[in-house]
């Protein structure tokens, strides 16, 4: 999803500052874009970790808009749920805090439909519904997406007077199509 977001922005003339966990990932992204003839003239990178405070404030300098797409995903259930939950929740908080300090106008958070409907077994659901993370047999991924999105909304509501930053959440139900890489 992140590669397609960056491609769309670059194709439309935006300056894009991407975040990656390490230099190898940066090279992988650059190679993917080169193979797909994507113009990388307006692309730069910051090496950041969702689990570390280092570098986030610097990374947000000069940004008007932020798309927070990153979240840990593993098919296998981790031995400890915090391996997925903490990076998702704390990473979202880090992005929001640094964005607020940097004067970002709007954050677009990629959540998931699972944060709304995974504990609802019939009827309708909508934007005011939340998955009950104590519902039996929920995956760690569902819990992490639900808790991360809730933490984003809590942050926005608590800081409404300090900041005029908007939060927009998209909640895809499935992602289909060919990968860029």
Q: Which residues participate in catalysis according to the annotation?
A: 145
Burial class (CB within 10 angstroms; exposed 0-12, middle 13-18, buried 19+) of 155: buried
DSSP state of 103: T
CA angle, 86 then 88 then 90, to 5°: 60
Burial class (CB within 10 angstroms; exposed 0-12, middle 13-18, buried 19+) of 133: middle
Q: Are 149 and 133 in contact (CB under 8 A)?
A: no
Dihedral sign computed on CA atoms, order 57, 45, 169, 111? negative
As a residue count, the chain comes to 181
3-state secondary structure of 74: coil
């Amino acid at each position: 999803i992140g590669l397609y977001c960056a491609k769309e922005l670059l194709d439309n003339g935006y300056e894009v500052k991407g975040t990656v966990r390490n230099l190898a990932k940066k090279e992988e992204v650059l190679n993917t874009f080169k193979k797909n003839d994507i113009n990388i003239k307006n692309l730069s990178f910051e090496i950041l970790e969702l689990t570390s405070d280092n570098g986030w404030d610097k990374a947000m300098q000069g940004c008007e808009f932020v798309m927070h797409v990153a979240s840990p995903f593993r098919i296998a259930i981790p031995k400890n749920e915090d391996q997925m939950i903490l990076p998702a929740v704390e990473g979202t908080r880090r992005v929001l805090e640094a964005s607020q300090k940097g004067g970002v106008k709007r954050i677009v958070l990629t959540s998931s439909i699972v944060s709304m409907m995974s504990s609802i077994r019939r009827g309708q659901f909508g934007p005011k519904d939340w998955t009950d993370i104590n519902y039996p047999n929920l995956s760690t991924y569902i819990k992490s997406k639900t808790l991360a999105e809730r933490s984003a909304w809590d942050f926005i509501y608590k800081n409404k007077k300090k900041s005029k930053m908007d939060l927009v959440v998209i909640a895809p139900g499935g992602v289909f199509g060919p990968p860029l890489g």
